[in-house]
Chain A
Amino acid sequence: MAESPKVFYEEENPQGITRAELLVAVPSFNEASTIAQTVERLDQGVREFYGDLDSVIVNCDNHSADGTRAAFLSSPTQVPKIYLSTEPGVRGKGANLRMLFHKAKELQAKAVVVFEADITNLAPYWIKYMAEPVLRGAGYVAPIYVRHKFEDTLNTAIVYPLTRCLYGRRVRQLNAGDCAFRGDLVDVFLNPPVWTAAMDQFGVDVCMGTLALTARVPVCQSVIGSPKRHRANDPFAQITLRFRQTLATIFDLMVAYADFWRIVRWSKPTALFSMDGHDTEVAPLVEINMGRLHARFLQGFEEYQPVWREIFEPALFNKVQEIRSLELPHFSFPSHTWALVLFSAALAYRNRDEAERTRVIDSILPLYLGKVVSYANRTERISIQQAEEHVEETCTIFEENKSYLVERWR
């Protein structure tokens, strides 16, 4: 396991809070321009819906140098605030959230809600949508944001079908970046079977979700009814890093939890939390540069064919070659083939050392981009609801073909 850094390099707790029933956490790195607004809205939400609970808002920061700390502490709130920071140079959302887990344990929080610092459209009522299911008995809550069919394809093509197939629970946006959980779940988060550098960064969201699923706590999905707008909104920003760390996290947890997921057959829904009285917003349009993604898919063959020849069975390798020959307007990457690609990559990952593991993961990126092109082709002219049905069909194909993975994972 990666060595733990010092828990709180810096802590500022102006009101000397030692206990809290509701803890609202805001992880950050260089968010001075957005954090005050976020915190004020969270403060409003806490006061409006949970004024009877002892609450605290905690900023878990990566030692930002842009004034995030001052912006957070000086934002006008009635709910008390605590600022925590990692050591200089220690970066990553996962590192931030590990501080949160320790603080939540220390404060004996009953419910913990996490919202990212740069959400520009966060509304006070979102607090209720995330905290209420926990207070009513859920162990872990994942949001369902309104999304365009082309938004977060990493989740649509990989995280959702794989985690559902492996762990048997249908959490549509496990990787959403925000969550809520019962306070005692921090013991699970603080004692994972494995903790890697990827989980210290982009991998932490899928890591927490997976730990919650394997802990068998009741999971709830909360229908927020709004999209989630970030300060920066390019779906393919840092795609290589996000892809690598997310898929590595999924594969590392597969190794750790093989005894769990090998038993799982099919999948089950979660409980759902939604409230009437709020109109559902329309998802903002997300565009995909199909030509660029298709070009990157084709480029993958120049670099990674030797890897694929090694990690794919011949029939699968040949199928991938067939897909390569399809022109863009007719491009299609069947879900059955995609499932076998991911299963084969997981098998290869398990059997390799770290350097080779990175190469296996990187070799899947161009194929993922090809899958995105295929998905976009398939769903371009249909509604978001119809696209969701296609996603559900893909997930069923993953579940139907799970035996391919189980039989080879010995």
Chain B
Amino acid sequence: MPKILVVDDEEHIRLLYSEELKEAGYEVITAESGHKLIERIEAERPDLVILDIKMVDYDGLDLLQDIRNRFYDLPVILSTAYDTFKEDAKSIAADYYVVKSFDLTELKKKIAMALETRLPE
């Protein structure tokens, strides 16, 4: 089953995403900050990353660039409380974004699209 890494400094978000995505059939691992994120991804090899944009100690958009430069095709979905991040050009390196909500319908749809994405070898 696909493995999803949820990166968010808010515990209730990590719990909510973890529970619901496991129920939807995914393996879920979590990280509470961007600390050593690249090494974590290297070690755990998730199939997709859900990345909080605004963490206390890390800028999600900077982390996104690091991920994209290191793992060119790894799907990343930005998770945010506001959509003003779109004014930052760095955001276009994300596959999709979702506005945080208790209803994860949109998130699950974007996860499915990202994991279905197919390019010739």
Interface window among B4-12, B14-22, B29-37, B84-92: B84-92
CB nearest neighbor in A for B72: A218
Whether A168 contacts B72 by the Cβ 8 Å rule is no
Answer whether residue B13 sits at the interface, using C-beta atoms and an 8 A cutoff.
Answer: no
Q: When chains A and B are docked, how far (Å) is the Cα of A385 from the Cα of B69? A: 25
The B interface is mostly helix, strand or loop, or mixed, namely: helix
Q: When chains A and B are docked, how far (Å) is the Cα of A259 from the Cα of B68? A: 27
Whether B117 contacts A266 by the Cβ 8 Å rule is yes
Q: When chains A and B are docked, how far (Å) is the Cα of A352 from the Cα of B92? A: 38
Q: Contacts of B89 on A, CB cut-off 8 Å?
A: 144, 223, 272, 274
Q: When chains A and B are docked, how far (Å) is the Cα of A125 from the Cα of B18? A: 45
Q: When chains A and B are docked, how far (Å) is the Cα of A269 from the Cα of B95? A: 6
Known contacts A274-B89, A385-B87: A269-B94 contact under CB 8 Å: yes
Cβ 8 A contact of A265, one of B72, B94, B118, B121: B118
Whether B119 contacts A170 by the Cβ 8 Å rule is no
Distance (whole angstroms) from the CB of B116 to the closest CB of chain A: 6
Distance (whole angstroms) from the CB of A141 to the closest CB of chain B: 13
Most B CB contacts (10 A, CB to CB) among A136, A263, A268 go to A268
B74-117 residues with Cβ-Cβ distance < 8 A to A are 75, 86-87, 89-90, 92-95, 113-114, 116-117
Whether B73 contacts A268 by the Cβ 8 Å rule is yes
Q: Contacts of A249 on B, CB cut-off 8 Å?
A: none
Cβ 8 A contact of A269, one of B93, B113, B116, B119: B93
Answer whether residue B120 sits at the interface, using C-beta atoms and an 8 A cutoff.
Answer: yes
Q: When chains A and B are docked, how far (Å) is the Cα of A259 from the Cα of B119? A: 11
Cβ 8 A contact of B86, one of A172, A263, A268, A389: A389
For chain A, the count of residues having a C-beta within 8 Å of the partner chain is 26
Known contacts A272-B68, A274-B89: A266-B120 contact under CB 8 Å: no
Whether A263 contacts B118 by the Cβ 8 Å rule is yes
Distance (whole angstroms) from the CB of B109 to the closest CB of chain A: 11
Q: When chains A and B are docked, how far (Å) is the Cα of A223 from the Cα of B69? A: 15
Whether B90 contacts A264 by the Cβ 8 Å rule is no
Most A CB contacts (10 A, CB to CB) among B68, B86, B94, B119 go to B119
Known contacts A269-B68, A272-B65, A272-B68: A221-B92 contact under CB 8 Å: yes
Whether A168 contacts B68 by the Cβ 8 Å rule is no
Cβ 8 A contact of B90, one of A136, A168, A274: A274
Distance (whole angstroms) from the CB of B94 to the closest CB of chain A: 6
Q: When chains A and B are docked, how far (Å) is the Cα of A272 from the Cα of B119? A: 19
A-contact 0/1 string along B32-58, CB 8 Å cutoff: 000000000000000000000000000
Q: When chains A and B are docked, how far (Å) is the Cα of A269 from the Cα of B114? A: 11
Whether A272 contacts B120 by the Cβ 8 Å rule is no
Whether B117 contacts A267 by the Cβ 8 Å rule is yes
Q: When chains A and B are docked, how far (Å) is the Cα of A269 from the Cα of B93? A: 5
Answer whether residue A230 sits at the interface, using C-beta atoms and an 8 A cutoff.
Answer: no
Q: When chains A and B are docked, how far (Å) is the Cα of A268 from the Cα of B117? A: 7
Cβ 8 A contact of B92, one of A172, A216, A260: A172
Q: Contacts of B75 on A, CB cut-off 8 Å?
A: 268
Q: When chains A and B are docked, how far (Å) is the Cα of A272 from the Cα of B94? A: 10
Cβ 8 A contact of A264, one of B72, B93, B114, B120: B120
Whether B119 contacts A268 by the Cβ 8 Å rule is yes
Answer whether residue A196 sits at the interface, using C-beta atoms and an 8 A cutoff.
Answer: no
Q: When chains A and B are docked, how far (Å) is the Cα of A274 from the Cα of B93? A: 11
Distance (whole angstroms) from the CB of A387 to the closest CB of chain B: 12
Distance (whole angstroms) from the CB of B112 to the closest CB of chain A: 10
Q: Contacts of B95 on A, CB cut-off 8 Å?
A: 268-269
Q: When chains A and B are docked, how far (Å) is the Cα of A110 from the Cα of B121? A: 25
Distance (whole angstroms) from the CB of B99 to the closest CB of chain A: 13
Whether B90 contacts A272 by the Cβ 8 Å rule is yes
Apart from A172-B92, A268-B75, what 6 extra A-B contacts exist at CB < 8 Å? A136-B69, A170-B92, A260-B120, A266-B113, A268-B117, A269-B68
Which B residues fall within an 8 A CB radius of A?
65, 68-69, 72-73, 75, 86-87, 89-90, 92-95, 113-114, 116-121
Closest 6 pairs between A and B when the two form their complex, measured CB to CB: A266-B117, A265-B118, A272-B93, A168-B119, A223-B89, A271-B68
